[in-house]
Amino acid sequence: MNVLPVEIIKKKRNKVPLTDEEIQFFINQYTAGILADYQMASFLMAVFLNGMNEIETLALTKAMLYSGKTVHFDKLSKFKVDKHSTGGVGDKTSLILAPIVAAAGVPVPMISGRGLGHTGGTLDKLESIPGFSTDKSLNEFIELTEKFGLCFIGQTSEICPADKKIYALRDVTGTVESIPLICASILSKKLAEGIDGLVLDIKCGNGAFMKTLKEAQALGNALETVCHLFTKKVNITYSDMSQPLGRFAGNLHEVFEAMEILNNRKYLNSNGTDLYADTRNLSLYLASKMIQMGLNISFNEAQEVANEQLESGKASKVFNVICRAQGGYLDKLPLPSQKIIIPAREDGFLASYNTERIGIAGIRIRAGRQKYDDQIEHQNGIEFHFKIGDAIKAGEPLFSLHGNNLKTLEEGKDLLNSCYSISLQKVERPDLILN
């Protein structure tokens, strides 16, 4: 194609729609290492500022999808389904719902990402398990999914290499919250897995990339349109991210919480609130959507199936089996040695969290990353002792910081002290499921 990359950038800068060929050329050139990061950064900013129409978004998704290989399960005739969340603080539902769905007989091939901005990533959580390997070849991914009905891997040089490079660049160029870029990133990975259907959990609230339900629905509509153009079934759930999900945020701690839920345990605070309840309920809800799609049954029937897999211990067994198959040792989780407690300032009712700032506090204590290649401390994390609406007394622990280095943990203390508000009046709990 006889065109200069700068002409494509200028065209998008000037709000002129790009052709399929121009988009494919730009993505292919960048994936091959011919275009520099600064050129892709300019392109991403132009897209962020001026958007893309439906045809452009489809072309971008295709270009990223076919920048590498796609998966074909020749020995697996069952309906294959995956789930994707747009990200939040404490969201560890993949670790729970995937084994529930696999235990129900619906295969879940799962290509996951790392943390992006203030949100956590499934790969980081899994890699906090000693020995767990998410670095599998395409053939190993297929074999494990066919054998166990489940496999967790990250992007490889074979699968969506364009997205792997662009994903890292978006985080450091302020271009994360762009609907076309989010669509192409999510769907290129998910469609490469060889799935037949996809359940989407789109978060909204102060801890999500989409702050309002209207913004979340705009993203949902765009994702649904592109999925349908690829003739894939899709089901969308909108869920609340105005407070952290569950009891913990931080990789090792989120694995621990997932294991507690898979083993049917509860954790009650001084109000009698089960701090695992929202994680459990959302995981079961999304698992039921996946099972409904995979087994072609009603949602009520799928809920019964999902509950049975969890309560019987079948899902826990699947998670243990796939962990061992991928080299992980769940019985050797390394516990952190240090803890800092942040007490409530006053009596009242917990009225709100600034969830995004909590996620940033997680980055400061190295439970998350500011840049894609930052090294995280898997044992560092934040514990939440109360949910919005709970009564709280001055001096009671509100947050606990866990890790092995007190100096590192101190980096998040002041920020967490500014991440909540307390009211003298009783506050209603926010709804978890918004659709």
Of 12, 83, 84, 165, the active-site residue reads 84
Of 185, 188, 239, 316, the active-site residue reads 185
**Rounded Cα–Cα distance for residues 255 and 130 (Å):** 11
**Rounded Cα–Cα distance for residues 425 and 428 (Å):** 10
Active site residue 84: yes
**Contact of 110 with 186, CB cutoff 8 Å:** no
Nearest Cα residue to 93 out of 241, 242, 216, 226: 241
Active site residue 189: yes
Active site residue 135: no
Of 163, 171, 201, 278, the active-site residue reads 163
Active site residue 316: no
**Rounded Cα–Cα distance for residues 6 and 14 (Å):** 12
**Contact of 355 with 242, CB cutoff 8 Å:** yes
Of 62, 80, 114, 189, the active-site residue reads 189
Of 12, 80, 125, 170, the active-site residue reads 170
Could you tell me which residues come within 8 angstroms of residue 417 by beta carbon, excluding any fewer than 6 positions away?
A: 342, 345
Active site residue 163: yes
Q: Which residues are catalytic?
A: 84, 163, 170, 185, 189
